């Protein structure tokens, strides 16, 4: 990770869970991390904690609604002005709504597409532009995917969510191919966790907290820090090594 010290990373959805853990880990490794979310109160608190801990990097909170392209573009413009640009883009933000395919609301489907697919694609495009403008040839784009992007969970609550994550699997491979066509050494990776103990299930099953709690009580789940460790592992690989997809799940998880 030595070569990343002082470099700039963007982490989307950095206020809680995996995003917060990744932001903390990269700051600890000496990176300047722009952490974005719709609400930055928790990121500001995390930034203060990182500073108090004496980490060599810096966490910069940025308020951004990723379902709004104008806000994403404004964020990249601000990063260019204040920090020159993005060297590492961690597309972590994602959400799930309980909207089955046969009875779900279009609004919920659209919101999942906007955040899980379009925002990831827009951030990737803008991060690549930033790298090319500055002749950065060793940048990295990391998409936080899901095991739901590799098999369909037998639960109507999650079918549309799985479809968006299958899109992330395809997009990551498409990005890798386009980067090769562009003759660049910028890398693209997706990390696909199984069940991770975060606020995710409680947001997904917000009308049934007992159901949400049961998800995490059924086994020893992954922790957000496990995913953060996977991110640093991927970033620390030698520049000639392309890690395409890291699939990880709790030992006790069946599928």
Nearest to 245 by CA among 110, 117, 123, 147: 147
Q: In a 3-state reduction of DSSP, which class is residue 126?
A: helix
Task: Provide the H-helix boundaries in 182-253.
Answer: 200-204, 209-217, 224-236
128, 161, 166, 216: the catalytic one is 161
Q: Do 129 and 77 contact (CB within 8 A), yes or no?
A: no
CA 52 from centre of chain: 25
Report how far apart, in Å, the C-alpha atoms of 196 and of each of 71, 144, 225 are. Answer: 29, 12, 10
Q: Which tokens go with 102?
A: 């046969």
Q: Do 195 and 226 contact (CB within 8 A), yes or no?
A: no
Strands 32-37 vs 140-144: parallel, antiparallel or unpaired: unpaired
Strands 8-12 vs 88-91: parallel, antiparallel or unpaired: parallel
Ramachandran quadrant class, 234 (left: phi over 0; alpha: psi -120 to 50; beta: rest): alpha
Q: Which tokens go with 64?
A: 């951004």
Active site residue 161: yes
Q: Which amino acids are annotated catalytic?
A: 161
């Amino acid at each position: 990770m030595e070569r990343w010290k002082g470099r700039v990373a963007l982490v989307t959805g950095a206020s809680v869970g995996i995003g917060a853990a990744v932001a903390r880990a990269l700051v600890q490794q000496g990176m300047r991390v722009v952490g974005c979310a719709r609400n930055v109160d928790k990121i500001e608190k995390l930034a203060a904690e990182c500073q108090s801990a004496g980490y060599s990097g810096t966490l910069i909170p940025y308020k951004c609604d990723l379902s709004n392209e104008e806000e994403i573009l404004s964020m990249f413009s601000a990063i260019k002005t204040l920090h020159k640009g993005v060297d590492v883009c961690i597309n972590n933000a994602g959400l799930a709504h309980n909207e089955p395919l046969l009875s779900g609301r279009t609004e919920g489907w659209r919101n999942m597409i906007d955040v899980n697919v379009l925002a990831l694609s827009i951030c990737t495009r803008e991060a690549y532009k930033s790298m090319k403008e500055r002749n950065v040839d060793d940048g990295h784009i990391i998409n936080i995917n899901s095991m739901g992007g590799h098999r369909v969970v037998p639960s109507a609550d999650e079918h549309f969510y799985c479809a968006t994550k299958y899109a992330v699997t395809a997009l990551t491979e498409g990005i890798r191919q386009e980067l090769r066509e562009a003759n660049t050494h910028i890398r693209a990776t997706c990390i696909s966790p199984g069940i991770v103990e975060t606020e995710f299930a409680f947001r997904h099953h917000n009308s049934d907290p007992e159901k949400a709690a049961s998800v995490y009580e059924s086994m020893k789940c992954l922790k957000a820090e496990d995913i953060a460790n996977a991110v640093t592992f991927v970033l620390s690989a030698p520049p000639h090594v392309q890690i395409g997809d890291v699939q990880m799940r709790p030992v006790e998880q069946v599928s």
